[in-house]
Amino acid sequence: MQNQKNLGWRVTFAGLGINLALGILYTWSIFKMAIKDSIVAKDGLFNWSLASLNDPYAVCCLVFAFAMIFAGRIQDRISPRITAVIGGILTGSGLILIAFSTSWIVWILGFGILMGLGLGFGYASATPPAIKWFPPAKTGMIAGLVVAGFGLASVYIAPLAIYLIERFGLSQSMLIFGVAFMIIVSLLAQLLVNPPEGYVPEGKAKSASASAPKLVDFSPGEMMKTSAFYKLWIMFCVGSGAGLMIIGSVAGMAKQGMGQLAWVVVALMAVGNASGRVVAGILSDRIGRANTLFIMLTFQAAVISSLMFISPDQVFYLVLAAALIGFNYGTNLSLFPSATKDFFGLKNFGVNYGLVFSAWGVGGFIFPRVSQMIVAYTNSPKMAYLMAAGLLVVGAILAVVTKAPGAEEETEPLLGTPAPAAATVIEKN
């Protein structure tokens, strides 16, 4: 049992390490700033329109999310190790490809599609095997720890990217990142392993309690017949989209007041992002996923609204707002995998969470793209902030009425279809 417990922590920290590499996505605002400088300077390198600046990032978010569905199925049925290696190779290949071109379409293919696929496979492989080694009471904490790496990555990638871009240029920097992350993710993938069949986590009683609530393992099709799935999906879409909208532009927001130190805001947002994942995971283990979601979505609406009154030269308030937005955004990435496991079981967790996670991609595609268009045509982001805040309030209201399938008012799945006959019912010990 001791070796199994230690193996669980090994898997957890291997997953965290993989996410520390894959979190390069959250440094997009640094790369975007370099591309924008080239466009404005008309140096001939990046001949893009300003309205298309966020396109590679938006496509990456969308592909990342939908790749999670297929990657989750591979993780469930074959191996998290193989899934992670595929992710490392695809992510590295995408970054290497854009190192040899400044074309918009090549960046869509490399950063958007190839890297998006790689992030989906790598991310899908990290959390499921880790939470399988621990009892339900630790689901939020373990999920938070694993995904914290993705949020924390910008703490070191942002300053490193600034250094490499200044020294070698943007294209050469992409080549360095691509080769390094391909190797790192592939090596850490060898530490990912699911617990043996019949494994019972320490701290989970082996005898069933007559009064214990039922935990149902839903198949993907059964899950998609419940209203709980659609409520989670909408909340995740809004919560992630609003956060990604700011993350993708924060370096540009800070540049006017901080110049080349704008990466500090990116790094502090990353610290908030990572800490939000861990804090929300632990808090939700205590007060419930829905209650935690309501608090965080409401708080995020208030902070994003405050950006309408903060000018770029008010550095302290901008840094504080960025850190809080990062914190609130990060909570989504531990709350929704935990809620998916609680609501729909662990047997098909990889593919089920992939379906829920598609909301992250849709939000990440729509919000940054729409906000960039608003800024391009109005020369102000205020309408984008107002839109995001309003939708976050809607998400907070949904959190209040969302319950697990079978709980109180939701005793039957959506559309009045019968409860899943094929679902595997087990006692929650």
What pLDDT does residue 116 have? 93
Task: Look at residue 59 and tell me whether its pLDDT is greater than 70.
Answer: yes
How far, in Å, are 11, 77, 419, 420 from residue 412 at the CA level?
37, 29, 6, 9
- Provide the total of helices (H) and of strands (E) in the chain, helices listed first: 17, 2
- pLDDT single digits (tens) 163-190: 999 999 999 999 999 999 999 999 999 9
Q: Looking at the predicted structure, is the pLDDT value of residue 238 above 70?
A: yes
The domain 2-196+208-427 is placed in CATH, from the list 3.40.30.10, 1.20.1250.20, 3.30.70.100, 2.30.42.10, at 1.20.1250.20
Model confidence, pTM: 0.73
| In the chain, where the domains are located | 2-196+208-427
Reported as a single tens digit per residue, the pLDDT across 352-403 is 888 998 898 888 888 888 887 888 788 888 888 899 999 999 999 999 888 8
Mean pLDDT for 18-33 is 87
- In degrees and rounded to multiples of 5, residue 54 shows phi and psi of -90, 0
Alpha-carbon torsion angle 406, 409, 414, 416, nearest 10 = 90
Mind giving me the DSSP string for 185-207?
HHHHGGG--PPPTT---TTS-SS
Q: Rounded CA gap, 428 and 211, in Å?
A: 10
Q: Residue 426 pLDDT more than 90?
A: no
Q: Name the one residue in this structure whose structure tokens are 């440094």.
A: 27
Structure tokens at 354: 């992939």
pLDDT at 214: 52
What is the three-class DSSP state of 225?
coil
Average pLDDT, the chain: 82
The mean per-residue pLDDT over the stretch 68-78 comes to 82
For the residues 281-288, what does the mean pLDDT come to? 85
The one-character DSSP state at 136 is G
Mean pLDDT of 122-141: 83
